[in-house]
Amino acid sequence: MKNKAIYDELLRRYRAHFNRDPEVVAYAPGRIEVIGNHTDYNEGFVCSAAINFGTFFAAARRDTGACRLVAGDLMKEVAFDASCAAPSTGDTWSNYVKGVLAGLRERAAVPCGFDGLFLGNIPLGAGLSSSAALEISSGLALARLYGRTIDRLDLAKIGQAAEHRFAGVKCGLLDQISSLFGAEEMLVETDFRTFAVKNVPLGEDACFLMCNTHARHALVDGEYNRRRAACEEARDHFARVLPHPVRALRDVSMEEWRTHRCGLDDGVARRAAHPIGENERVLAAADALATGDLVRFGQLMFESHESSRVNFENSCPELDCLVAAARKIPGVMGARLSGGGFGGSVVVLVHPRDAETAGAALANAYAAAFGKPCDVRLIRPSAGASVVRAG
């Protein structure tokens, strides 16, 4: 079992707090977004991977409708009723689980409350989607606890709705789908219009480094939502001026953007250029991966980050420092910010033989620039979410 030490500690803390064993435990991994930044809610394409860090959620039924939810790292408990339909203003970490419970309740009656505890090893605020891992692990555990069978895509949509309604982040489905559809040593290629998902091999000549800058990454502050609103404004503009249907920015080419951007505010136009160009980069990256051209794949990652920096403006000096350093390090093929941006982590494509020396060079470059180290960890594409204990 991956992360068995975390699982064993979860069971120990659950037993100590609730004085019984859980009936069910589920696990969901975090994710890296390899390429395809802010394309999911624009009905575009993404290449991502589930990672070897994740969150466990343990639960057991109660005789009443009362729910007790414990954040295992803090050992702090929040109590609420299973019929609760409103997010909390305090202990906001509980809203992800409350939102998932609300989604389950909308599909069928919830028969009782639960005692739940979650624990994981995804660095918080690192842009690796600890929130989606919590949503998916709690969704799998509670669905099993209540005897429900839920399609993976439906569960992803429950997690997304929890983000929208209970956490206030108008995210797409990238994080939840990546967590659910991951596979060992495989990337996840997703078409977010049709929701067609396939796993493709990364190959033995590549792995990823995750460089966590610890720069503040708080999407609920509104920057994420403002970027999405700009994309929707641009979509409406192109729907008016182009001679073909435009349902999302996926339907606009870069050539069309250059020809018809007039009439858009410059900032909105640049925001739109990012997912439009990114969709083209993802398709090119998929072709490169299919032919084993990792150098080309990595170059597209660098280009993706530059578009994030210039057009979408969802990077920051800490992320830019690491990507600039990565360009100069032998063995590094590509690098870019991962996730929503505004802080968090950089994902670096590197040959496995060069991973250790490249990681040390990245950490040293960051320390020289900011006077403090960044965390560098080896990332392996990993299996998706699952129930790991039941009955």
Report all structural domains of the chain as residue ranges with CATH numbers, in order of start. Answer: 4-201+382-390 (3.30.230.10), 207-379 (3.30.70.890)
The token pair at 58 is: 């343990």
Could you tell me if 344 and 125 are in contact, meaning their C-beta atoms sit under 8 angstroms apart? yes
- Annotated active-site residue 63? The verdict is no
Q: Whose CA is closest to 347, among 339, 133, 71, 18?
A: 339
How far apart are alpha carbons 275 and 280 in whole angstroms?
9
> Which one is catalytic: 21, 81, 91, 175?
175
pLDDT value at residue 89: 87
pTM: 0.91
How far apart are alpha carbons 75 and 61 in whole angstroms?
19
Q: Give the SS3 label for residue 70.
A: strand
How far apart are alpha carbons 169 and 187 in whole angstroms?
25
Q: Whose CA is closest to 145, among 387, 385, 342, 379?
A: 387
How far apart are alpha carbons 279 and 187 in whole angstroms?
17
Q: Give CB contacts under 8 A, 24+ apart, made by 371-375.
A: 372/214, 374/211, 374/212, 374/213, 374/214, 374/318, 374/322, 375/123, 375/210, 375/211, 375/212, 375/214
Q: Give the SS3 label for residue 177.
A: helix
The length of the chain, given as a count of residues:
391
pLDDT tens digits for the chain (391 residues)?
A: 789 999 999 999 999 999 999 999 999 999 999 999 999 999 999 999 999 999 999 999 999 999 999 999 999 999 999 987 789 888 999 999 999 999 999 999 999 999 999 999 998 777 788 999 999 999 999 999 999 999 999 999 999 999 999 988 888 899 999 999 999 999 999 999 999 999 999 989 999 999 999 887 554 457 888 999 999 999 999 999 999 999 999 999 999 999 999 999 999 999 999 999 999 999 999 999 999 999 999 999 999 999 999 999 999 999 999 999 999 999 999 999 988 888 889 999 999 999 999 999 999 999 999 999 899 999 999 999 999 999 7
The token pair at 379 is: 């990332």
